[in-house]
Amino acid sequence: MDEPLLQMKNLSVRFFTYQGVVRALENVDLTIQRGEIMGLVGETGCGKSVLARSILRLIADPPGKIMGGEVFFKGEDILKVSRKRLREIRGNDISMIFQEPMSSLNPVFTVGNQMQEVVILHQKVNSLQAKDICIQMLQQVKMPDPEQILSKYPHELSGGMRQRVMIAMELSCRPDLLIADEPTTALDVTVQGQVLTILDDLVRRLGVSVLFISHDLGVIAQLCDRVSVMYAGKIVERAPVWDLFAAPKHPYTHGLLQAIPSVDEERDPLLVIAGTVPGLIQPPEGCRFHPRCYRRFEPCDHVVPHFREDKKNHFVACHLYGDE
Amino acid sequence: MWTEFRKEHAWQIKEFFFTLRLLGRNPSAVAGFVIIFIMVWMALFAAWLSPYDPIHISLQERLSSPSSAHLFGTDEVGRDILSRIMYGARISLRIGVLVILIAGGCGAIIGAISGYLGQRIDNLIMRVMDVILSFPPLVLAMALAAALGPSLNNAILAVAFVMIPKFARMVRGEALAVKEKQFIAAARASGAKSLWIILHHILPNCFSSVIILATLILGETILIAASLSFIGLGAQPPTPEWGAMVSVGRKFLMDQWWYATFPGLFILMTVIGFNIFGDALRDILDPRIRR
């Protein structure tokens, strides 16, 4: 098989706070192939954004610290490269879209100003050429009247438009990997669909790999090729999207899928996973999910389950599978 | 070349004229501009406008009250106060504007670096600023001016130095708030350097409060510079300077009210002029209010 575009091995990130050490990520492995859209699902606070940010070393230090592990991008360990090389990778090779379209653009400059700034910096063109590139990109994200948009300030655009501007901006440098950290969470459903369609279409056309983070399983199902499920700082299951939805293995994934409200099935009341996400300062021993798990048995509260391949391409970290 | 420039910067040119039009429509901007314009005009053409030589002494006319011959009266050696105010505008405006430019520029950059980089650098810079702030401004300016040697330019440098912490502190506070915004993270994720972020994202977002602070500090600046002149460290006599005139005139305030009052009024007018102009400028330049 080809070398994967991004390969994360054993990544651990901790935050040192006054209350104690937050183990935000523990030994996380993740691979993204070229041209693939990888979904990352999990509840609020399980470490999705930390994972996304640590790929670009955007964790605020202090209090955060990358404790160990490797993130290979095209064979180069991002965690070890010089600051100069890191800046080249950011934007040129990997770019990122954030959750809040409202505050992702600088309010005192026009959209055109900010887009051109990025294009000029990364592609070494003059401002007229940059403008053309920006207009092209805005057309690709289906913005009406791109020339007009360029001279507007961020506050004059709606959330959906701003997010499309962000997509255009991040893709204008033709990165190999796009990290999208809940790009549609702050948008309402109709706009969300629009933005997702545009993102999907554009990404497939340009052949960009995407790490798509969301807590919305519906969105994941629509967009992604493979999905990783995260729970309390660990990845508990990974599978091609249809395998995961058809036959979830980990009890947590199972619970997540059960908790989607459905219109055409009479399922009353909605099933929920009991309890809440554990604090990551003192996470539960053994499997981190065991206090909430409805199928826990003997080893769960003291043995950490390994992440193993149960079926082809379907990985799971749970004592129910395998022979341990 | 010119046409190319116009094509490439068409948008900026349009925006510039749009700003001018907005300024023209804003009453306080116009009022402020008129006051500043009068002061500058007075300073530039003092030689033609002033009725007398500002340093001409005529002892027969000392301390005469305002009259048709001497509109604002005369001082203790019989110099015409109106003429001295006109020539003084040159000195006082130069002091005010230069001090604000130096202190505002340095202070804003220091503050932005401090706030954005944080941690040890922030601590170091802010403690140094605290040390400067712990001295009474006048005493520190005096010591500096004395050390540099008595001259107007040295006095300007001394006053600017004393004013730096005020800007630095405020901009640092703003920078702390701005750096948590997501567009900073987005800029970093697209590979921007710290210096680039400070210059292009932090400082422009602090701009409006810097303008306000600058207009507020302008008055204080002119007065501190005046005090320096008063003890012989700033503008050297007989050079006319507003603050120095107020300082000397204070002694005569009970009997010859005009001596200190008129230069004082001009300081007040200048401060108000810059203040309301600055305020209007801030509103107009803020894109969220602009449209």
Asked, as a colleague might, if the bond just before A248 is cis with ω within 30 of 0, I would say no
Counts for chain B of helices (H) and strands (E), in that order: 14, 0
Answer yes or no: do B190 and A91 touch at CB < 8 A: yes
User: Residue A218 and residue A224: Cα distance in Å, rounded?
Assistant: 10
On whether the CB atoms of residues B76 and B248 are closer than 8 A, the answer is yes
Strand spans (E) along chain A: 6-17, 20-32, 37-41, 64-73, 76-77, 94-97, 177-181, 209-214, 226-231, 234-240, 308-311, 314-316
Partner A contacted by B282 (CB < 8 A): no
pLDDT at B161: 92
- Local structure of residue B231 (DSSP, 8 states): T
Whether A242 is in a domain gets the answer yes
**Which residues in chain B touch residue A110, judged by CB atoms under 8 angstroms apart?**
287
Nearest residue, CB atoms, A87 vs list B7, B193, B291: B193
Nearest residue, CB atoms, A58 vs list B119, B185, B193: B185
Domain range enclosing A64: 6-103+177-316
Decide the pairing of beta strands A314-316 and A6-17: unpaired
Instruction: Count structural domains, chain B.
Output: 1
- How is residue B251 written in tokens? 């002694």
Alpha helices in B179-241 (DSSP H): 182-189, 194-197, 203-230
- How is residue B37 written in tokens? 């314009």
Whether A161 is in a domain gets the answer no
Q: How far is A34 from chain B (nearest CA, A)?
A: 20
On whether the CB atoms of residues B151 and B236 are closer than 8 A, the answer is yes
**Which residues in chain A touch residue B186, judged by CB atoms under 8 angstroms apart?**
96, 98, 104-105, 166
Residue B19: which pLDDT band, with cuts at 50, 70 and 90?
Answer: confident
pTM: 0.76
Between A and B, how many residue pairs show a Cβ–Cβ distance under 8 A? Answer: 83
Domain range enclosing B98: 74-290
Tell me which of A106, A116, A152, A167 to substitute to probe the interface with B (most B C-beta atoms closer than 10 Å).
A106
ipTM exceeding cut-off 0.85 for this assembly? no
User: Residue A71 and residue A50: Cα distance in Å, rounded?
Assistant: 14
Whether B14 is in a domain gets the answer no
For B119, how many CA atoms within 13 A lie in the half-sphere containing its CB? Answer: 6
| A248: CB partners within 8 A, 6+ apart | A237, A254, A256, A257
Identify which of B139, B164, B165, B162 has the alpha carbon closest to the alpha carbon of residue B228.
B139
**Which residues in chain B touch residue A104, judged by CB atoms under 8 angstroms apart?**
182-183, 186
On whether the CB atoms of residues A228 and A38 are closer than 8 A, the answer is yes
Alpha helices in A183-258 (DSSP H): 189-206, 217-223, 241-246, 251-258
- Local structure of residue A9 (DSSP, 8 states): E
pLDDT at B51: 81
Query: Which helix (H) or strand (E) is A149 found in, with range?
Result: helix A146-150
First to last CA, chain A: 29
Nearest residue, CB atoms, B188 vs list A58, A100, A105: A58
Q: How far is A251 from chain B (nearest CA, A)?
A: 35
**Which residues in chain A touch residue B204, judged by CB atoms under 8 angstroms apart?**
106, 108-109
Using the predicted structure, report yes or no on whether residue B84 has a pLDDT greater than 50.
yes
On whether the CB atoms of residues B148 and B161 are closer than 8 A, the answer is no
Burial of A299 (0-12, 13-18, 19+ CB in 10 A): middle
Sheet with strand A6-17: strands edge to edge: A20-32, A6-17, A64-73, A76-77
Answer yes or no: do B200 and A108 touch at CB < 8 A: no
Q: How far is A153 from chain B (nearest CA, A)?
A: 7
Residue A11 sits at φ, ψ, to 5 deg, of -75, 130
Which B residues in the span 151-190 are in contact with A, Cβ-Cβ below 8 Å?
A: 181-183, 185-190
Partner A contacted by B287 (CB < 8 A): yes
> Average of pLDDT values for B197-213?
85
Identify which of A267, A238, A268, A232 has the alpha carbon closest to the alpha carbon of residue A250.
A238
Partner A contacted by B130 (CB < 8 A): no
**Which residues in chain B touch residue A155, judged by CB atoms under 8 angstroms apart?**
287-288
Using the predicted structure, report yes or no on whether residue B124 has a pLDDT greater than 90.
yes
| CATH number (domain holding residue B283) | 1.10.3720.10
Whether B160 is in a domain gets the answer yes
Answer yes or no: do A104 and B182 touch at CB < 8 A: yes
Whether B125 is in a domain gets the answer yes
Whether B10 is in a domain gets the answer no
Using the predicted structure, report yes or no on whether residue B2 has a pLDDT greater than 80.
no
Instruction: Count structural domains, chain A.
Output: 1
In tens digits, what is the pLDDT along chain A, a chain of 324 residues? Answer: 567 888 888 888 888 888 878 888 888 888 888 888 888 888 877 888 888 888 888 877 778 888 888 888 887 888 888 888 888 888 788 888 887 777 888 888 888 888 888 888 787 788 788 888 888 888 888 888 888 888 888 888 888 888 888 888 888 888 888 888 888 777 777 878 888 888 888 888 888 888 888 888 888 888 888 898 888 888 888 888 888 888 888 888 888 887 777 666 665 666 677 777 777 787 787 788 878 887 777 778 777 888 877 777 888 888 887 654
pLDDT at B8: 67
Partner A contacted by B112 (CB < 8 A): no
- Local structure of residue A102 (DSSP, 8 states): T
| CATH number (domain holding residue A302) | 3.40.50.300
Partner A contacted by B127 (CB < 8 A): no
Tell me which of B190, B196, B202, B284 to substitute to probe the interface with A (most A C-beta atoms closer than 10 Å).
B190
Partner A contacted by B199 (CB < 8 A): no
Partner A contacted by B204 (CB < 8 A): yes
Interface of A with B (CB under 8 A): 56, 58, 62, 86-92, 95-96, 98-100, 103-110, 112, 117-118, 121-122, 126-128, 151, 153, 155-156, 166, 169-170, 173, 179
Whether B12 is in a domain gets the answer no
| B143: CB partners within 8 A, 6+ apart | none
Whether A67 is in a domain gets the answer yes
**Which residues in chain A touch residue B200, judged by CB atoms under 8 angstroms apart?**
106, 109, 117
pLDDT at A324: 47
Whether A147 is in a domain gets the answer no
Nearest residue, CB atoms, B191 vs list A87, A100, A103: A87
Chain segment B97-109, per-residue pLDDT in tens: 899 999 999 999 9
pLDDT at B217: 84
| B6: CB partners within 8 A, 6+ apart | B13
Using the predicted structure, report yes or no on whether residue B206 has a pLDDT greater than 80.
yes
Identify which of A257, A284, A281, A252 has the alpha carbon closest to the alpha carbon of residue A270.
A257
User: Residue A127 and residue A125: Cα distance in Å, rounded?
Assistant: 7
On whether the CB atoms of residues B249 and B75 are closer than 8 A, the answer is yes
Per-chain mean pLDDT for chain B: 84
Nearest residue, CB atoms, A58 vs list B181, B189, B286: B189
User: Residue A209 and residue A25: Cα distance in Å, rounded?
Assistant: 23
Whether A14 is in a domain gets the answer yes
Nearest residue, CB atoms, A98 vs list B185, B290, B291: B185
pLDDT at A124: 78
